[in-house]
Chain A
Amino acid sequence: MNHILFVLLRRLRTPLITVIVVYAVSILGFVLIPGVDDEGNVWRMDFFHAFYFVSFMGSTIGFGEIPYAFTDGQRMWTIVTIYATVISWLYGIGKMLSIFQDQAFIRLMNRLSFVRDVKRLREPFYLVCGYGMTGARVVEQLSKRGIQSVIVDIDRERIDALETDEIDFSVPGLCADASQPDVLSEAGLESPYCVGVLPLTDHDTVNLAISIASKLIAPDRPVICRTESDITTANLASFGTDHIIDPFVTYAEYLALALHSPYKHLAYDWLTNPEHRSITSAYQETQGRWVICGYGRFGRALYQSFKDTPVELTIIDYDRSRVCEEIDFVEGLGTEAVTLDEARIRDAVGLIAGTDDDANNLSIIMTALELNPKLITVARQNLSSNARVFDAARTDLVMEPSRIIANNILSLIKTSLLGVFLDEMVHRRDDVWAHELVNRMSTVAGDQELDSWAFTVDPECTPALSKALEEGKVVDLSLFQEDPRGMNRHLSAFPLMLKRGEQVKLLPDESTEVQAGDAILFCGLSGAFHQMQWTVSNFNVFSHVIGDTDGQGGWLARWYRKKKLS
């Protein structure tokens, strides 16, 4: 704030001195010029009257010629001073207004108010660098969960959009280059309330710079970084970035999962994607030959993750040199029926339109469906503004990089246990197990959004439960599913995983006893989460749920009960 005051004062030096000098000369003039009083005697204004007169004249209020009517000499001087004072005032005020409208000054003000907002934050927040499609989605979802974020973006328009976007509370945003450590530090990188850094800009180098800065300043703070090239991924991993998300690799793995184990894929989708698909959409007819249009980053990632599955691949690309020899290859864009025919689209089971042009992808899908209506189609959507068209095209799957990154980040932020669970499920369980899981999820959530959350049994996270365990009470997992609002009703949620020490148990039994230090992952409706929080945190609700009437009420009620008994 001091800084602004200095700038303001320095720029106001000249106008202020002008006003002082003009006033001084005007007042002196009135004191020196002789006047006449009402009786015709020579009378001189003193400084008091002169200052009074110039004050109201200069500000164009104008009370008239007081205390006595002026002589012609005084009037002549008045004419001169009217113009001089009014002009000097206008000059001063104009100068001040121009300072307030000065772009540099406004930027300075914005920056200072941003720094102040960040300093005032007294709750955990995520530092989001880059407020593009991905960033906006992440911030919106975070705000829905009541988590604060701080935004840095280099684009003025995006920061302006922050005001109008649907965020439940005001989020501080700064227009600056996030790769500069100064900017990061102002955005709260050093703040103890910053719980994570999310570099989500379009530039890998910037993301890299942010990650390094964050890891150097606060090594324990998680960094979830977006990347688009393998070199950056390796670089990020080398200094311990916690999570690295490459949208193309992630989606390719996701798609590969859909092909070889449809129910695992569905379970994965339900847990990571708020708009999950219906249970009937699990693909059965996926074994066979797939056609991939476009062998760019996405195509290459797909090829890598499809290599180990029993799936044949045909690639269509306009550039022969990008593809190595042993792949079945057709040269062309894929938008024309000739190219698609050459790729034998009529006997393929699926088509992936993965070029970096939305119009081309749609055209490929439509042409291919005319040739083979039974095709499973996957389209890559590059711009989120095209969502409407992609909806209308009725493709089976849409791959939208920004959505993938956002969903991944959110599932990582919700709880770190979810990542462990998904990893276990994908690599250690079979599809039949996943089928049962999906059925269970479906009975709990139906068409609503499936949420997931975790509790660690410790005095901070679950005070009521921890105290009961300390007192030697035996509590099992079914406690969590009790609805505190009524006996014999169950919450729409079930435990996904129990982590005890280094051991994890997937889908633990309800009769499993809870021990201090356990971490339990649940999935269900978000309403159930709030009820569960009541049960484990509030001593009275907890006593009510386990049916222990002695523990209920405040000390007054307990004292009264004891008295009544004795």
Chain B
Amino acid sequence: MNREKVIFAFFIVLALTLNFGFFVGDTGNPDHHNVYELYAAIVVSLIATVLKFGDRTHIGAVLLATSLVADLQLVAAAIVWGAAEHIMVNGMTESVMASVVSLSAGALLANITSVILLMVETIMIRR
């Protein structure tokens, strides 16, 4: 058992599950989307990215790329959320919530890609 692999797989899958948990629900309805879940998704996704730093294998580089995409989408969603709550006059509206959720949906796709790559890598290992 490779400890490093366990930790990385844990974080990659956790990022996907958290993101999915945030994403499900009515797209425009703020009650269906928990801010804590988004927060946890961002933190876990960041950690997963750092874990891939300095990996020189080809699949490692692609995994770094996909998790960077997920980070970017999630941070963008958080910025939109923060801006709506504190800067915009109207506050959190349905349309803003929809754009936050759609951004996180993009991140979800990136997370799914990561997990697929992870599975491919696992399947390719022959002992």
Contacts and interface: CB of A to CB of B under 8 A. Distances in A.
A86 interface: no
Interface stretch (B13-21, B24-32, B47-55, B114-122): B47-55
Given A24-B43, A47-B78, A7 B54 contact: yes
A12 B36 CA distance: 28
A47 B82 contact: yes
| Interface SS of B by simple majority | helix
A487 interface: no
Interface in B36-73: 36, 39, 43, 46-47, 50-51, 53-56
A315 to B, nearest CB: 65
Nearest to A10: B54
A11 B82 contact: no
A108 interface: no
B54 A47 contact: no
A7 B53 CA distance: 9
Interface residues of A, number: 19
B63 to A, nearest CB: 14
A13 B56 contact: no
A9 interface: yes
Given A47-B35, A47-B78, A48-B82, A12 B43 contact: no
B127 interface: no
Nearest to B50: A16
A13 B85 contact: no
Contact of B85 (A8, A28, A46): A46
Nearest to A49: B86
Contacts of B78: 47
Contacts, number: 42
A8 B56 CA distance: 12
| Interface SS of A by simple majority | helix
Interface residues of B, number: 16
Contacts of B56: 6
Interface in A45-62: 46-48
A11 B53 CA distance: 9
Contact of A16 (B36, B39, B53, B85): B53
Contact of B47 (A7, A17, A46): A17
A444 to B, nearest CB: 64
B50 A6 contact: no
18 contacts: A6-B54, A7-B54, A8-B54, A9-B53, A10-B53, A10-B55, A13-B50, A13-B51, A13-B54, A16-B50, A17-B47, A20-B46, A24-B39, A28-B39, A46-B85, A47-B39, A47-B82, A48-B82
Closest A-B pairs by Cβ, 4 of them: A10-B54, A9-B53, A9-B54, A24-B43
